[in-house]
């Protein structure tokens, strides 16, 4: 019983430390603001919103002479990468600016009692969990290969008019290609709007890909869902109640 008490005390201490870290992350994220960057020639100005979406793209009135129509996609992409870097610096700066928080975090003792693992329902739950572990282990290598492949492959997305092509690797935009004839014959406001729309659509697609990670791997998904609430899993196995 003493060992169990010591274990629970250690778990509460670990949970308190985790809560402090999560509070730090939440505070730094809350303090983030939009980020605006310009290229060296001040031809392109791009703004990322607080949530990371592309909020605005503004082309200088002389951009065609400054960077040329053929260079617009590359400059927009460079501005986007620069803005991402500034967002990261902003987040890390938020961590560093926070004073060391020694405020104690109280984690209440868990409200449960020892259960009865000898019941048929507990035995059935244990069997189900063990089966899920075995099946997930069989799918592990293929699942990890899929995750790694999705994270490294370059994918292109084209707008409906086929005038803006946005390339991404995983969830990061890596390049923008524009139809030169369209750029040459289109006013700046429409160009700005279509590029912003295409970039944000690609980020929505990337988020959808993350949600579909488990597609084709039901055992891995089932195991992850089972272990999402460890206390509930212990209840099902009869260890606690």
- Each residue of 85-94: pLDDT tens digit? 888 888 667 6
State pLDDT tens for residues 100-144: 555 554 545 555 666 777 888 888 887 887 887 788 888 878 877
CATH homologous superfamily for the domain 32-99: Nucleoid-associated protein YbaB-like domain (3.30.1310.10)
The reported pLDDT for the residue numbered 19 is 56
HSE-up (13 A, CA, CB side) for residue 76 = 30
Q: Residue 150: which pLDDT band, with cuts at 50, 70 and 90?
A: low
- Mean residue pLDDT of the chain comes to 79
Domain ranges of the chain: 32-99
State pLDDT tens for residues 52-72: 899 999 999 999 999 999 999
The reported pLDDT for the residue numbered 2 is 47
Burial of 81 (0-12, 13-18, 19+ CB in 10 A): middle
Q: Going by DSSP bridges, is the β-strand pair 44-48/35-38 parallel, antiparallel, or unpaired?
A: antiparallel
Q: Going by DSSP bridges, is the β-strand pair 154-158/164-169 parallel, antiparallel, or unpaired?
A: antiparallel
């Amino acid at each position: 019983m003493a060992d169990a008490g010591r274990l629970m005390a250690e778990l509460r201490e670990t949970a308190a430390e985790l809560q402090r870290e999560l509070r730090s992350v939440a505070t730094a994220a809350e303090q983030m603001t939009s980020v605006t960057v310009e290229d060296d020639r001040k031809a392109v100005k791009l703004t990322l919103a607080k949530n990371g979406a592309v909020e605005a793209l503004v082309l200088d009135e002389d951009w065609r002479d400054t960077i040329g129509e053929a260079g617009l996609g590359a400059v927009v992409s460079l501005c986007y990468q620069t803005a991402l870097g500034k967002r990261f610096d902003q987040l890390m700066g938020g961590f560093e600016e926070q004073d060391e928080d020694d405020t104690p975090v109280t984690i209440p003792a868990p409200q449960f009692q020892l259960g009865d693992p000898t019941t048929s329902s507990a035995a059935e739950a244990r069997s189900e969990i063990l089966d899920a572990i075995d099946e997930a282990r069989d799918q592990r290598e293929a699942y990890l290969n899929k995750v790694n492949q999705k994270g490294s492959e370059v994918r292109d997305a084209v707008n409906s008019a086929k005038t803006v092509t946005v390339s991404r690797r995983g969830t990061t935009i890596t390049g923008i290609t524009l139809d030169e004839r369209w750029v040459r014959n289109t006013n700046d406001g429409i160009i700005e709007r279509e590029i912003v729309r295409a970039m944000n659509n690609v980020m929505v697609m990337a988020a959808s890909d993350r949600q579909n990670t488990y597609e084709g791997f039901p055992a891995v998904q089932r195991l992850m869902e089972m272990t999402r609430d460890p206390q509930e899993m212990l209840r099902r196995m009869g260890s606690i109640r």
